[in-house]
Structure 1
Amino acid sequence: MSFNIGLSGLYAANKQLDVTGNNIANVATTGFKSSRAEFEDVYSATKLGSGSKTVGSGVRLANVAQQFTQGDINNTGNVLDMGINGSGFFVLNDSGSLSYTRSGTFKVDKEGYVTNSDGSARLQGYGVDANGKIQNGILTDLRIDTSNLAPKSTSVVSSTINLNSTAPVIDQAVVTNLFDPTKTETFTKQFSTPVFDSQGNQHQMDQYMVKTGANTWDTYTLIDGRNPDGSDPKVTGPVPSTMVFDTSGKLVSVTTPATPTPIVSPDLKVTGWVPGTVTDGVWTANGAAANPDGVTISMSNTTQFNADTARSIPAQNGYATGQITNLTIDGSGVMLANFSNYQTKPIGQISLASFTNEQGLQAVGGTSWKETYSSGIPGYDAPETGTLGQIRSNALEESNVNLTSELVDLIKAQSNYQANAKTISTQSTIMQTIIQMA
């Protein structure tokens, strides 16, 4: 029996050497998780159980358990290198077969899909709709779309403006004081804002502020030097809108020739693009159709205080055609494409998988695992949701192997192997003695 006990010990020590050697071999493997050999003793027993004086029958390998502890995350400078800081697994799809990994060495194939390092499986996540909204709940192959971002015509312009309450009044009854964009003495302040038509062509919208009386200002809006209705201000005259303030400097109303009564929301409405012509009620500029609903200029944040007449940087929602310049990935896994027209657009979001029993996953090589009955079904969600970790772009998670500890385990396994070999050698010597006695 001692031979069998010694042999089981040799087998166990050999398995311990195998596990330790595999850990050491993968000390530089991205996303690798170290393993630990777990053993249990063996006893022979009958249906009535083992006696109080029963000697054990050796040892056997109970399990090789992987240790899913966090590995160090080191920067690489490659945006598609991703590490998970916390729990969770990247989801890969290889022709319908899902696998899970902590190795974030991804790249883009010829069709723009994000794949693992050997290109055999595609990274899974959530797509976006036409408006750039993330479509959570449905896994799809993540793809980096390098096509141009279509232009958008301007529909809203907003800013914060203060008009100096102590500015001198420009008397409009005097002919020489009548507004003329070429004469600075006929207006108090000029503001310029770039706006865009549907083909991405840029136009300049100029607003001229003229103080016409106490708490009263006229605003002249010209686009490319023309009135909103497309007429030439030198021929038909400029078209003003009137702003009225109360004694505390708060904007009370805005009136325009098209809307003689004060509107509830103090906004100006520019109803056309210039220069251009009217076709079916829609203004066109250089062959490009502008926004048919016109451009709303929000004036609600306009005040009249005793301070310099000034405006904050205007915000407008139009833009020209854009080409993708670079990609960024935030902690929640949202992939943002940055374009040459200063716009950003989500093009997808990475999904992570979690399991009730990570130890139940089946290792399939390539630093990947498969779902099993023991692991339970995976739960998919966005990073930073619940217990799922954070995505670290431009970085990779290193192996969690502690090389010092593994070298010590190597020495232990070697000693165990030698000790069990000594057990067999001693038993052999005893048997030789018995044979000689016979």
Structure 2
Amino acid sequence: MSYYNSLSGLRAAQTDLSVISNNIANVGSVGFKKSRAEFGDIFSSSPTQTTKMIAGQGTKLLGIQQQFTQGTLETTDKTLDLGITGEGFFVVKGQAPRSDVTYTRAGNFSVDTNRHVVDSIGSRVQLLPVDANGTVTGTSLSDMVDFDLPSASPTNANAALVNVSIGEDGLVTATFADGSDSKLGKVAMASFTAIEGLRPVGDSHWQSTGDSGAAAINSATNGPLGSIQSGALEHANVDITEELVSLISAQRNFQANAKAIETASTMTQTIFNIHG
């Protein structure tokens, strides 16, 4: 039995090492959220057995839990670099024909050749429609529109776009050469009842699941969504020192379980020699 106990310990330590290594590898990934492996003991007995005389049967992986704590914001010189202070996520829509909706904390946005504002994987940033006063007029997924930069004023084709600003509430305002401005919308943001239930799909993007609950869509500064900081990016929430200490601990656990297997093997060989 000790073989199987130690083998489960080896597998657990190996999983722990993999999770920690992934955290360290992504220390430079914008909007990345670290994970933590969680384990539980294995124990079983029949109703007629006394638990005082039974040893445990090893350990098992309960799950790899994501840690959605706030990452550090770094100031940049780019208006379309957006950082979130709070629990919200940006809403982005993938390319046709799938047009899948995902959620991200990575706000390193740019403009493509069609003047769509896109993220690092080409998904289009979504805006909520607003009225002339900047008040949101719709908060459902079907109300959202692509964040597109106009080339000129909607009222004067000769007035080129000269500036774009994004407020803490996500309001996007375009200013044109003739001094006029236009409110394009507010950056769509999402929150979830059980944030740990989100399904990671890579590139610091997540999808909603039955475990996370449906996305609650709104603009920044509402509820738990937090505020938007233009000209800033959120770093990975990975503390490299903490991860290195955890890496050493996981390595020691692996070595200890390997030693336990070696000891059990030596004892078994000794018994065989006695009987031989």
* TM-score bucket (shorter structure): over 0.9
* Equivalent pair of 1:81/1:394 in contact (CA under 8 Å): yes
* TM-score normalized with structure 1 length: 0.59
Aligned to 2:146: 141
Aligned to 1:329: 166
* Equivalent pair of 1:132/1:345 in contact (CA under 8 Å): no
Specify which of 108, 114, 133 is matched with residue 117 of structure 2.
114
- Inter-CA distance 346–48: structure 2 relative to 1 (3 Å threshold): farther
| CA displacement 1:306-364 (0-9 Å, x = unmatched) | xxxxxxxxxxxxxx963210111010001111122222221121011000001111111
CA distance in 1, matches of 2:162, 2:197: 43
- Inter-CA distance 148–413: structure 2 relative to 1 (3 Å threshold): same
Specify which of 339, 344, 347 is matched with residue 176 of structure 2.
339
SS of 1:136's equivalent in the other structure is coil
* Equivalent pair of 2:42/2:57 in contact (CA under 8 Å): yes
Task: Please tell me whether residue 33 in structure 1 is matched to residue 33 in structure 2.
Answer: yes
- Inter-CA distance 385–128: structure 2 relative to 1 (3 Å threshold): closer
CA distance in 1, matches of 2:48, 2:111: 64
Specify which of 247, 254, 264 is matched with residue 427 of structure 1.
264
Aligned to 1:357: 194
Give the number of the structure whose residues are more often helix, by fraction: 2
Give identity over the alignment, percent. Answer: 42
Aligned to 2:206: 369
Specify which of 225, 234, 242 is matched with residue 405 of structure 1.
242
SS of 2:193's equivalent in the other structure is coil
SS of 2:120's equivalent in the other structure is coil
SS of 2:159's equivalent in the other structure is coil
| CA displacement 1:384-414 (0-9 Å, x = unmatched) | 0112110111110000000000000010011
Aligned to 1:286: none
1:130 is displaced (CA, Å) by 8.1
Q: Letter of the aligned partner of 1:69 in structure 2?
A: T
Q: Letter of the aligned partner of 1:147 in structure 2?
A: A
SS of 1:69's equivalent in the other structure is coil
1:125 is displaced (CA, Å) by 1.7
* Equivalent pair of 2:23/2:243 in contact (CA under 8 Å): yes
Q: Letter of the aligned partner of 1:80 in structure 2?
A: L
* TM-score normalized with structure 2 length: 0.92
SS of 2:153's equivalent in the other structure is coil
Task: Please tell me whether residue 14 in structure 1 is matched to residue 19 in structure 2.
Answer: no
Q: Letter of the aligned partner of 1:407 in structure 2?
A: L
* Equivalent pair of 2:132/2:183 in contact (CA under 8 Å): no
CA distance in 2, matches of 1:328, 1:49: 71
CA distance in 1, matches of 2:271, 2:57: 22
SS of 2:252's equivalent in the other structure is helix
Greater C-alpha Rg: 1
* Equivalent pair of 1:41/1:57 in contact (CA under 8 Å): yes
How many positions carry a matched residue from both structures?
Answer: 269
CA distance in 2, matches of 1:321, 1:150: 9
Aligned to 2:227: 390
CA distance in 2, matches of 1:345, 1:332: 16
CA distance in 2, matches of 1:135, 1:112: 24
SS of 2:163's equivalent in the other structure is strand
SS of 1:377's equivalent in the other structure is coil
Q: Letter of the aligned partner of 1:424 in structure 2?
A: I
Q: Letter of the aligned partner of 1:366 in structure 2?
A: D
CA distance in 1, matches of 2:121, 2:2: 50
* Equivalent pair of 2:127/2:188 in contact (CA under 8 Å): yes
| CA displacement 1:98-130 (0-9 Å, x = unmatched) | 1111111111122221111131x1111213568
**Unaligned runs of at least 5 residues, structure 1:** 152-319
Aligned to 1:53: 53
Matches within 5 A, 1:125-274: 125-128=127-130, 134-137=136-139, 138-150=143-155
1:27 is displaced (CA, Å) by 0.5
1:146 is displaced (CA, Å) by 1.6
CA distance in 1, matches of 2:83, 2:50: 51
| CA displacement 1:233-255 (0-9 Å, x = unmatched) | xxxxxxxxxxxxxxxxxxxxxxx
Q: Kindly indicate whether structure 1 or structure 2 has the higher relative contact order, using CA contacts under 8 Å at least 6 residues apart.
A: 2
Q: Letter of the aligned partner of 1:126 in structure 2?
A: L
CA distance in 1, matches of 2:172, 2:196: 31
SS of 1:325's equivalent in the other structure is strand
Q: Which moved more, 1:424-433 or 1:341-350?
A: 341-350
| CA displacement 1:12-48 (0-9 Å, x = unmatched) | 0001100110000001110000111111000123366
1:423 is displaced (CA, Å) by 0.5
- Inter-CA distance 408–132: structure 2 relative to 1 (3 Å threshold): closer
Q: Letter of the aligned partner of 1:51 in structure 2?
A: T
